[in-house]
Amino acid sequence: MMKIVFYGTNAAAFEKGLSEQLDMPHRITVISDAADAPGEAEALASADVVVGVHYTGTGVQNARLFQLPAAGYDKVDLDALPGGCAVCNAFGHENAIAEYVMAALLSRHVPLADADARLRQGDWHYWAGGKDGLRTEMGQQSIGIVGHGHIGQAVKQRALAFGMKVHVANRSPVESPWVTVHQLEGLAEMAGNVDVLINTLPLTDSTEGLIGAEVLAAMRDGAVVMNVGRGPVIDEDALFVALKVGRLNAILDTWYVYPSKDDPNPRPSRHPFHELPNVTLTPHMSGWTTGTIARRTATVADNVNRLARGEDLINVIRKPRP
């Protein structure tokens, strides 16, 4: 009997449909983020598999697999988990995020909502032949993608399909036709040559603050900075200062402050980004779709089945230690 615990509210979103994809007898338990309700601590301690997005303390004792139903693992203290516990993550969000990116950028060139509102009032501002309603095209723009992982590659493919000039900055070599490749050490140079700079990187010790004042200062007047990776990859203070003066624009989906039990609806930063007219704010929604959940649930099921069969796991972050 495989004991599987979904640890917390976020993880619980991936529980539906898992049972039908498992090959072995199993028991699934869903527990709270605090694991403090009756029986929850015991369930966590005895679990063979824990599915969760955070772990900072004690409680996991027997698990052979800590499976993240997400890509980022910066909220998981790997050293706090038992040595014999493998840690794996899941992707499947790249298509959803790439669609978000394209929609956000297209909205800057195709003002459907404004055109609709105007025409309902008899205003033909954007009509073909009018002298004042000419629009720009996204295909005339260039984009610099920071990171060439799952998200970066999905954004690249769609940007190329729209005719954009694509630049990529990545730590490891990138072999991709039709793309100008830069090293991360040359990020400022790339930033100065694109209309849109988008971060897709996760948060690690080496990426925190990677996009700072120097990189932002190198960007062209009127350029757009986007973040769909992790918030702190772009320096919080430097970003606010750069946007407050009005020289740049931003589309921000990942942040520096997130909801908690004590503060379920916080401002997403200690700075008042919400007061800036040149910023579009969204609540870390870019990858949250039915498709993402289905693909990640399938990944969780695949790894649990592999564990039961004694096969190699996929998306391994940390192998079990003897």
Range of the domain at 86: 2-92+290-318
> What pLDDT band is residue 58 in, cutting at 50, 70 and 90?
confident
| 32 and 104 housed in the same domain | no
| 20 and 36 housed in the same domain | yes
Average pLDDT over residues 67-81: 95
The pLDDT of residue 176 is: 85
Q: How many CB atoms lie under 10 A from the CB of residue 223?
A: 21
SS3 of residue 186 by DSSP: helix
pLDDT at 321 over 90: no
| 166 and 294 housed in the same domain | no
Average pLDDT over residues 288-292: 98
Rounded percentage of the chain residues whose pLDDT exceeds 90: 95
Average model confidence (pLDDT) across the chain: 96
What is the total count of domains within the chain? 2
| 74 and 150 housed in the same domain | no
According to DSSP H, which parts of 133-271 are helical? 150-161, 187-191, 213-218, 236-244
| 71 and 47 housed in the same domain | yes
**What's the gap between Cα 255 and its chain centre?**
10
The pLDDT of residue 261 is: 85
| 105 and 15 housed in the same domain | no
| 83 and 105 housed in the same domain | no
Sheet-wide strand order for 316-318:
26-31, 2-7, 49-52, 65-67, 86-88, 316-318
| 83 and 107 housed in the same domain | no
Residue 318, classified by CB atoms within 10 Å of its CB into exposed (0-12), middle (13-18) or buried (19+), is middle
According to DSSP H, which parts of 15-168 are helical? 40-46, 94-106, 112-120, 150-161
| 255 and 294 housed in the same domain | no
For the domain that residue 207 is a member of, what is the CATH number? 3.40.50.720
| 303 and 269 housed in the same domain | no
Segment 15-30, tens digit of pLDDT: 999 999 999 999 999 9
The pLDDT of residue 141 is: 98
| 65 and 143 housed in the same domain | no
| 299 and 154 housed in the same domain | no
Average pLDDT over residues 254-269: 95
For residues 310 and 308, what is the distance between their CA atoms, to the nearest angstrom?
A: 6
Segment 185-242, tens digit of pLDDT: 989 999 999 999 999 999 999 999 999 999 999 999 999 999 999 999 999 999 999 9
Average pLDDT over residues 134-144: 97
pLDDT at 322 over 80: no
